Structure 1
Amino acid sequence: MELLYLLISILSTTFTSLILSLLLPFRYLLRRPLISDDSVILYQGTVWHERRRPVHHSFSYQVRYALFDLDAASHPPPNHLSADDARRLANTNGPVFLLTIPPSVGYEQNPLSLYYCYDFKASKKTLRKCIAEVTNTPWGERVSFLFDPSSDLVAKSLHVSPFMDMLGNWSMKANEPGNNLHVVISVQHPELGNYFTASLTAVRVTTSVSGDHTGFFWLMPHKVALWIYWHALKLWWKNVPLIPHPRYQNPGYKEEALLRDETIRCCQAFGINQASNIREHGETFDQVSVTENIRCCSWTDAPWPWR
């Protein structure tokens, strides 16, 4: 059934994108651009993936991103948090920037979007928290959560790939975006160890791309999807086992992820040995400390035809 849904999704996207691409010249003449203000910074770089177990497989591809100042952008991308929503979630008081691949000719493909949430302290702007939006392929489900950009460990809360189970944790790190930006995510697995790493390295586009940026991002989401599907086929060819979506076998996987993440946060707050002893002897954590270390995760269901 999922293969049928995938075929429907591909055909629908192809038809829609073809029609909208043919209409682009008329849009330039008749419509206001969707991305046309100075609050958008453009980046171009490379996404790199490496899987080390059970087989070695690595690849890289060129990608283009936009960094939106959500307080100033006149046309922020749809289906994302507002600046105020992000500030409430991150408990910050400064500007919020969203790094994402904007939709192109009716299609969106963002394995990872990041919100950079700043604080103002003593008139100094400091990057305090990031919000990650992780979207899986091909289903299009999404999970959003806070993390510390300097370094953080987060329980895996989404079935991001049919070639990965739900047992790992995500080690995450992101620098403050400037002329360069860098994001690294690695998977810490209880059996396979540190077996997978993905990174984004990009530089700010210094050449002038004036006016409507639609041409800069034309078919960019489609290219990302093509790379994902092509290398999924290669993994299948290398006999990496397919893992069904946990909603079919373990509907409580989200709650289990939250419990694992609570343990991670408590271990970070108390120290690993102390937290382990508390768990082993059936004692309880201090309620205030536990509350402060519970990570808020928000899930978005799959769009049509996957739901």
Structure 2
Amino acid sequence: MELLYLICSILSTAVTSLLLSLLLPCRYIIRRICTTRASDDSVVLYEGTVWHERRRPVHHSFHYSVRYALIDLDAAAHAPPNHLSADAIRHISKTNGPVFLLTIPPSVGYEQNPLSIYYCYDVEGSTRTLKKCIAEVTNTPWGERVTFLFNPNSDLVAKPLHVSPFMDMHGNWSMKTNEPAENLHVIISVQHPKLGNYFTASLTAKRVGSSVSRDYSGFFWLMPHKVALWIYWHALKLWWKNVAFIQHPRYSNPKYREEALLRDEGISYCQAFGSNEAKILKAEGRAFESMEKTTKNRLITWRDAPWPWCWIHTQESIEEPGAEYIHKNQ
């Protein structure tokens, strides 16, 4: 059934994207004639490279060029579809400053966003500090999205989502990102109990000049499609290399989300007290205020993700995810 949905998604996306692509020149001409719109200061564009490297059980690596938008959610004229609002993010992260969203916008009827990141700032006087980040990870073929807090300087998170049919759920994600400026980098590695540090994905990008920011439709034209093409093509290559195919855990282990929360709680214990102290505390059933604070600050939340095509996004579909997220974590 999932394969059928995937085939239908590909066919529908191909037709939709072709039709909308044919309209792009007309849209561009009309905008040039009818408007004198200045560059949008609420959006900063980045262009760079995504690298993937798997070291075990077989070596496999690839890279592709990519384009991202960094959106000031407070200043943007229109909220990005299917993402959280600035107020929702501040509520979750307990920050008081601006919120920026790093994402690949939908383009010609298609959306493909394996990872989006919210950068959450605190403001004290005239000083603005990047305090926390929120990752938004989507596994498009299965229609799921997970959102969780992490420390941008370096953090370890129990893997909460089945993102690849060639990876099980037993690993942890090591995550790190810098404060977006002229250069941007995001590094994620997978630490596995048996395979060790066997997989790394990274994004390295540079800020693009403001001269291209008058019309984003041309800049991002087939960018989501390209991301999907590389992901599925290299999945086929892994299958060809006889890497074991792993079914989604919901078919064999309906409690995989609860188990991910427990594993992340164990990581939090270790981060707060050190590995040995955490084992003793858990064995004795002892609870301390600092322990509870540490184990509750990830706020991992799952929700359904939209299917890739995106004909219409109403205001309800934009705001509802944030409202749902706040309600679950109050």
Asked if Structure 1 and Structure 2 have the same fold, meaning a TM-score greater than 0.5 normalized by the shorter chain, the answer is yes
1:35–1:214 contact (8 Å) kept in structure 2: no
Structure 2 residue aligned with 1:184 = 187
Residue 200 (structure 1) aligned with residue 170 (structure 2)? no
2:272–2:294 contact (8 Å) kept in structure 1: no
Residue 99 (structure 1) aligned with residue 98 (structure 2)? no
Q: Determine the C-alpha separation between the residues in 2 that align with 1:246 and 1:56.
A: 25
Q: CA RMSD in A?
A: 2.0
Structure 2 residue aligned with 1:21 = 21
Residue 10 (structure 1) aligned with residue 10 (structure 2)? yes
Structure 2 residue aligned with 1:212 = 215
Distance 1:230 1:35, change over 3 A: farther
How far 1:292 moved relative to its partner?
A: 4.0
Structure 2 residue aligned with 1:252 = 255
Residue 265 (structure 1) aligned with residue 265 (structure 2)? no
Q: Determine the C-alpha separation between the residues in 2 that align with 1:113 and 1:85.
A: 15
* Residue 288 (structure 2) aligned to one of 283, 286, 298: 286
Between 122-131 and 179-188, the greater mean CA deviation after superposition: 122-131
How far 1:49 moved relative to its partner?
A: 0.4
* TM-score normalised by the chain length of structure 2: 0.88
1:114–1:133 contact (8 Å) kept in structure 2: yes
Distance 1:120 1:302, change over 3 A: closer
1:36–1:213 contact (8 Å) kept in structure 2: no
Cα deviation, 1:21-76, whole Å, max 9, x if unaligned, reads 12223333567999962211000000000000000000000000000011101123
2:102–2:118 contact (8 Å) kept in structure 1: yes
Cα deviation, 1:173-223, whole Å, max 9, x if unaligned, reads 000000000000000101110000000000001261142211000010000
Distance 1:88 1:35, change over 3 A: farther
Q: Determine the C-alpha separation between the residues in 2 that align with 1:304 and 1:203.
A: 30
How far 1:123 moved relative to its partner?
A: 2.4
Structure 1 residue aligned with 2:328 = none
3-state secondary structure, aligned to 1:77: coil
Q: Determine the C-alpha separation between the residues in 2 that align with 1:207 and 1:84.
A: 27
How far 1:304 moved relative to its partner?
A: 5.1
3-state secondary structure, aligned to 2:175: strand
Q: Determine the C-alpha separation between the residues in 2 that align with 1:112 and 1:304.
A: 15
2:73–2:101 contact (8 Å) kept in structure 1: yes
Q: Count matched residues.
A: 304
Structure 1 residue aligned with 2:42 = 39
List alignment gaps of at least 5 residues for structure 2.
Answer: 309-330
Distance 1:265 1:129, change over 3 A: same
Distance 1:304 1:65, change over 3 A: closer
The letter of the residue matching 1:178 is A
Structure 2 residue aligned with 1:238 = 241
Distance 1:94 1:274, change over 3 A: same
Cα deviation, 1:116-160, whole Å, max 9, x if unaligned, reads 000012421000000000111422311000000000000100001
2:52–2:61 contact (8 Å) kept in structure 1: yes
3-state secondary structure, aligned to 1:208: helix
1:137–1:161 contact (8 Å) kept in structure 2: no
Distance 1:155 1:210, change over 3 A: closer
The letter of the residue matching 1:85 is A
* Residue 71 (structure 1) aligned to one of 74, 90, 94: 74
How far 1:266 moved relative to its partner?
A: 1.5
* TM-score normalised by the chain length of structure 1: 0.94
1:116–1:130 contact (8 Å) kept in structure 2: yes
Q: Determine the C-alpha separation between the residues in 1 that align with 2:295 and 2:286.
A: 14
Structure having greater relative contact order (Cα 8 Å, sep ≥ 6): 2
The residue correspondences of 1:120-139 to structure 2 (distance < 5 A) are 120-139=123-142
Residue 60 (structure 1) aligned with residue 91 (structure 2)? no
How far 1:284 moved relative to its partner?
A: 2.6
The letter of the residue matching 1:6 is L
The letter of the residue matching 1:26 is C
Q: Determine the C-alpha separation between the residues in 1 that align with 2:84 and 2:153.
A: 22
Structure 2 residue aligned with 1:162 = 165
